[in-house]
Amino acid sequence: MKTQLLVIGAGATGMGIARDAALRGIKTIVVDKGAIGSGTSGYFHGLLHSGARYVTNDADAARECIEENIILKRIAPSAIHETGGLFLAITEEDCNFAPLFYLACKAVGIPAEELSPDMVLAKEPLVNPTLKRVFSVPDGYINGKKMLELNKLSAEKTQTPATFLEHHEVVKFLKKDSRIEAVVVKDESGEKTIECDMVINASGIWASQIGALAGADIQMTADKGAMLVTEEKLSTAVLNRCRPPSDGDILVPTANHSIMGTTSVKTDDINTHVVEQWEIDRLIKEGSVMVPSMATTVISTTYSGVRTLVGSTASTARGVSRSFKLIDHKEEGMDNLISMIGGKFTIYRKMAEVAVDAVCEKLKIESPCATANKVM
Ligand X SMILES: Cc1cc2nc3c(=O)[nH]c(=O)nc-3n(C[C@H](O)[C@H](O)[C@H](O)COP(=O)(O)OP(=O)(O)OC[C@H]3O[C@@H](n4cnc5c(N)ncnc54)[C@H](O)[C@@H]3O)c2cc1C
Residues at the site binding ligand X, with contacts judged by CB under 6 A:
8-14, 31-34, 38-41, 44-47, 49, 169-170, 202-206, 210, 225, 262, 305-307, 343-346
Question: Torsions phi, psi of 267, nearest 5?
Answer: -140, 155
- Which residue, 136 or 201, has its beta carbon nearer to ligand X? 201
- Which residue, 294 or 309, has its beta carbon nearer to ligand X? 309
Q: Please state, in angstroms and rounded to a whole number, the distance separating the CA atoms of residues 287 and 327.
A: 38
Q: How far is the CB of 5 from ligand X (least distance, A)?
A: 15
Question: Cα angle vertex 257, ends 254, 260, to 5°?
Answer: 85
Q: How far is the CB of 203 from ligand X (least distance, A)?
A: 4
Q: How far is the CB of 224 from ligand X (least distance, A)?
A: 7
Q: How far is the CB of 159 from ligand X (least distance, A)?
A: 25
- Which residue, 121 or 372, has its beta carbon nearer to ligand X? 372
Q: How far is the CB of 125 from ligand X (least distance, A)?
A: 25
- Cβ-Cβ contacts under 8 Å for 138 (sequence gap 6 or more): 50, 66, 69, 70, 82, 84, 85, 110, 111
Tell me the residue number closest to ligand X, measured at CB.
Answer: 11
- Which residue, 225 or 253, has its beta carbon nearer to ligand X? 225
Intra-chain end-to-end CA distance of the chain, in Å:
29
Q: Please state, in angstroms and rounded to a whole number, the distance separating the CA atoms of residues 297 and 281.
A: 13
- Which residue, 44 or 102, has its beta carbon nearer to ligand X? 44
Q: How far is the CB of 372 from ligand X (least distance, A)?
A: 17
- Which residue, 15 or 131, has its beta carbon nearer to ligand X? 15
